[in-house]
Structure 1
Amino acid sequence: MTTPNVISPIAADLAPAVATPCFVVAEDRILHNLAVTAKACGGVERLMPHVKTHRAPWLIRLLLAHGVGAFKASTLAEVEMVLAAGATRVTWAFPTVNPQNIGRFVELARFFPNAELTGLVDSRHGLDVWAALLDGTSRSVNLRVDLDPGMGRTGIPMDDSALELARAVAGLGRLAGWHLYDGHIRGDAEERREKVHQLAAALDTLQSGLRRDGIEVDAVGGCSYTFDLWPRSAMPYVSPGTWVYSNAQHLRELAHHVWLAAGFVLTTVISTRNGTATLDAGSKAISPDKPQTQRFQGAGEIVMMNEEHTVVRNDTLNVGDRLLLVPEHTCTTAYLYSNALVRALDGRWEYRDQLGSERTVIPLPR
């Protein structure tokens, strides 16, 4: 299988001195992906991209400069990265009940007083923890009620229990609205459209319940498979994920968006034998959360993968060849690297920092 949407000279364009494995990014392709994503959902102002895809502060600044105004994050490290990069609207899309983590999030509001910070709750227990820590603090911190649209991971059922929780949050004066992540939705376009239609109807029922109480709020959510199917009237803000770099899976299954691969793993062939080639990019270098035979495209069938090696079936590669692999999942690939080798818009190559696997945050000044 050939590598989708790869400019073949890109690997040859890199200086031989580049160490491998290396995470490689093409900035012009990111801007292409932004343009087609914004068009698909009806405008860049509707996007609230999820930063777990890249965890790169330079990318936050790039998106801000091109009209993106709000971001979602999974971890506290990502929240602080987004704020430090200059964003002023951040949703922490992780309904934790850990008081230390919530306390840290609330503390960030003091150091970024111009930012709107939003957390998630999906239980009364979680709300009680938030309420205690928010008492007497900045009004810039609000909460969304996380809904479970059938994924079965987090979120409260889309029934009267969700209304009860939302009313309790509203009673604190902290209700920002709803959060609905439908990452379980797959199928062809019509199947996905029908599922979104059903969820939109359920969400409208919840919204109507709040309106009867005089409460008007919005919703944010969606995923790469549904963001373009949600009507703006139901969900003003959508959060497609992996479009920034795209990945092999989305290039196959969502080809109608015309996304381009923009994040790669550069690898070197270190050995060949019996119709196979051994690469220096193993499970610590690319898509470790995917089935072994599906972790990337661009080099041939994966025969074996260890921590630092991958053997592929290929009888045309030579020792010393370098390849650009397209990850099956770029979120967990970018997470493995503390920097990326970026081809800038002017054609220059430069290393740029990213969070990598960092889960802690830099101590804030007191």
Structure 2
Amino acid sequence: MNHHQDNWYTVTDPSVLDTPALLVYPERVQHNIDAAIHLVGDPSRLRPHIKTHKTQEVTELLIRSGVHQFKCATIAEAELLGICKAKDVLLAYQPVGPKLKRFLALIEHYPDTQYACLTDTIAAAQEIAHAAQQANIVLPVFIDLNVGMNRTGIAPEDALSLVDFCLQQSSIQLAGLHAYDGHIRHPDPIERKQICDAAFARTKALQKKIEDQYGSTLSIIAGGSPSFPIHAQRENMVCSPGTFVYWDHGYASLFPEQPFIPAALVLTRIISLPAPGMICTDLGHKSVAAENPLDKRVVFLNAPELKAISQSEEHLVLAAPENHTYRPGDILYGLPMHICPTCALYERAITIIRHQVEGEWMIRARDRKIQY
């Protein structure tokens, strides 16, 4: 199969599909999984984040490809991985309050899955340790390091006291270090590597201090999709990209050197011609991620000349040449700038194989709660 053919996205009979719809192309998903494993060399070094797809089917494709470690950000995603009997799951989030209680209930209900979570403060680690003790379990934890993202985590230079606290607790097991560097997105691969290496050096320095002080070498989980090829070249560490399974226009534009191909898009129809040089589609805020500026939300593969001029909840208005021939009912295939939040807007994805509608994948973990 030629994964780069110009019309890979077209559906032979789109009349059977209501719009807006999320389309996923399983053969291209498998291509991306294979490319990731080839890049990292061994599926045991891959811990993909399921935040992008949130589906049982993609998880099962990864498991069948030899991937047994996963990352997630929500309790629902963690539960989906338990349903899939994933062997090793990291909740890449520090659970506090009711989320911690839900997480422990999940652990009890899915004994075939080894769960772990993040922590970045002694106060939160103390709460996690106490809850684990009450549940009569030993819970693996990873120290969440802030290497420049400034979202969560503790600076590597300040983390030794937290490490010391965790090592003293009988109900938690210090399993490793977690360093997410999603802020590193420089378009030049050489400069991106320099920035990434500098951030990673701080994590390695902490790992060395812990080894010297406690005689224990902690594993490292690092990176997302932008830095994945860089971390893939390092020894003795685990990579955790997420977007690679579907890819999107944003990453394809920023990182053309990466071996991934778009595997999901949004299908929309023209519903009105409100004025000369204007067409309106049914691709509103509720159908494609809208966190980017208006002109950086979606591009249309079969109509790249169309440019967004306004968007509301259920409508996207596009500028078109005044002599255009578009009509209501015409189909547009849109490649989202950011596929991850776009997927979360849909309850199901329609699967397309060789231009035919094949079935659907429920996006089960888009919900805040499955059972626990």
Query: Is TM (by shorter chain) over 0.5?
Result: yes
Matches within 5 A, 1:104-183: 104-135=102-133, 137=135, 139=137, 141-159=139-157, 161-172=158-169, 173-183=172-182
3-state DSSP of counterpart to 2:61: helix
What residue identity is the alignment partner of 1:327?
A: P
What residue identity is the alignment partner of 2:76?
A: A
The aligned residue for residue 197 of structure 1 is 197
**1:9 Cα deviation from its structure 2 partner:** 6.1
Matches within 5 A, 1:17-36: 17-36=16-35
Query: Residues 282 and 154 of structure 1: is their aligned pair in 2 closer, same or farther, counting only changes over 3 Å?
Result: same
Query: Residues 90 and 250 of structure 1: is their aligned pair in 2 closer, same or farther, counting only changes over 3 Å?
Result: same
**1:348 Cα deviation from its structure 2 partner:** 5.1
> Does structure 1 conserve the Cα–Cα contact (< 8 Å) formed by 2:280 and 2:317?
yes
- For 1:25 and 1:216, locate their aligned partners in 2 and report how far apart those are by CA, in whole Å: 41
The aligned residue for residue 279 of structure 1 is 281
Count of residues in correspondence between the two structures: 358
TM-score, normalisation: structure 2: 0.91
**1:40 Cα deviation from its structure 2 partner:** 2.1
- For 2:117 and 2:161, locate their aligned partners in 1 and report how far apart those are by CA, in whole Å: 18
Query: More displaced, 296-305 or 34-43?
Result: 34-43
Q: Which runs of 4+ in 1 moved over 3 A?
A: 4-7, 9-12, 136-140, 231-235, 344-348
**1:232 Cα deviation from its structure 2 partner:** 5.8
> Does structure 2 conserve the Cα–Cα contact (< 8 Å) formed by 1:91 and 1:119?
yes
What residue identity is the alignment partner of 1:242?
A: T
The aligned residue for residue 49 of structure 1 is 48
> Does structure 1 conserve the Cα–Cα contact (< 8 Å) formed by 2:147 and 2:200?
no
**1:233 Cα deviation from its structure 2 partner:** 4.9
- CA-atom RMSD in angstroms: 2.1
The aligned residue for residue 86 of structure 2 is 87
The counterpart of 1:349, out of the listed 358, 366, 372, is 358
What residue identity is the alignment partner of 1:102?
A: L
- For 1:339 and 1:158, locate their aligned partners in 2 and report how far apart those are by CA, in whole Å: 40
3-state DSSP of counterpart to 2:309: strand
**1:234 Cα deviation from its structure 2 partner:** 5.8
**1:293 Cα deviation from its structure 2 partner:** 1.6
What residue identity is the alignment partner of 2:251?
A: H
- For 2:8 and 2:355, locate their aligned partners in 1 and report how far apart those are by CA, in whole Å: 16
- For 1:346 and 1:275, locate their aligned partners in 2 and report how far apart those are by CA, in whole Å: 31
The counterpart of 1:319, out of the listed 314, 328, 336, is 328
The counterpart of 1:290, out of the listed 289, 292, 304, is 292
- For 1:154 and 1:59, locate their aligned partners in 2 and report how far apart those are by CA, in whole Å: 27
The aligned residue for residue 240 of structure 1 is 241
The aligned residue for residue 40 of structure 1 is 39
**1:41 Cα deviation from its structure 2 partner:** 2.4
**1:18 Cα deviation from its structure 2 partner:** 1.1
- For 1:202 and 1:234, locate their aligned partners in 2 and report how far apart those are by CA, in whole Å: 16
The aligned residue for residue 218 of structure 1 is 219
The aligned residue for residue 250 of structure 2 is 249
The aligned residue for residue 338 of structure 1 is 347
The aligned residue for residue 312 of structure 2 is 306
- For 1:258 and 1:332, locate their aligned partners in 2 and report how far apart those are by CA, in whole Å: 22
Gaps in structure 1 of 5+ consecutive residues: none
> Does structure 1 conserve the Cα–Cα contact (< 8 Å) formed by 2:12 and 2:356?
no
**1:230 Cα deviation from its structure 2 partner:** 1.8
What residue identity is the alignment partner of 2:107?
A: A
The aligned residue for residue 78 of structure 1 is 77
Query: More displaced, 34-43 or 337-346?
Result: 337-346
Query: More displaced, 162-171 or 120-129?
Result: 162-171
**1:358 Cα deviation from its structure 2 partner:** 0.9
Query: Residues 104 and 6 of structure 1: is their aligned pair in 2 closer, same or farther, counting only changes over 3 Å?
Result: farther
- Give the share of equivalent positions with the same residue, in percent: 28
3-state DSSP of counterpart to 1:278: strand
**1:7 Cα deviation from its structure 2 partner:** 4.7
> Does structure 2 conserve the Cα–Cα contact (< 8 Å) formed by 1:33 and 1:244?
yes
The aligned residue for residue 259 of structure 1 is 260
**1:346 Cα deviation from its structure 2 partner:** 10
- For 1:279 and 1:6, locate their aligned partners in 2 and report how far apart those are by CA, in whole Å: 26
**1:344 Cα deviation from its structure 2 partner:** 4.4
- For 1:69 and 1:258, locate their aligned partners in 2 and report how far apart those are by CA, in whole Å: 22
- For 2:71 and 2:180, locate their aligned partners in 1 and report how far apart those are by CA, in whole Å: 12
Query: Residues 151 and 62 of structure 1: is their aligned pair in 2 closer, same or farther, counting only changes over 3 Å?
Result: same
What residue identity is the alignment partner of 1:29?
A: R
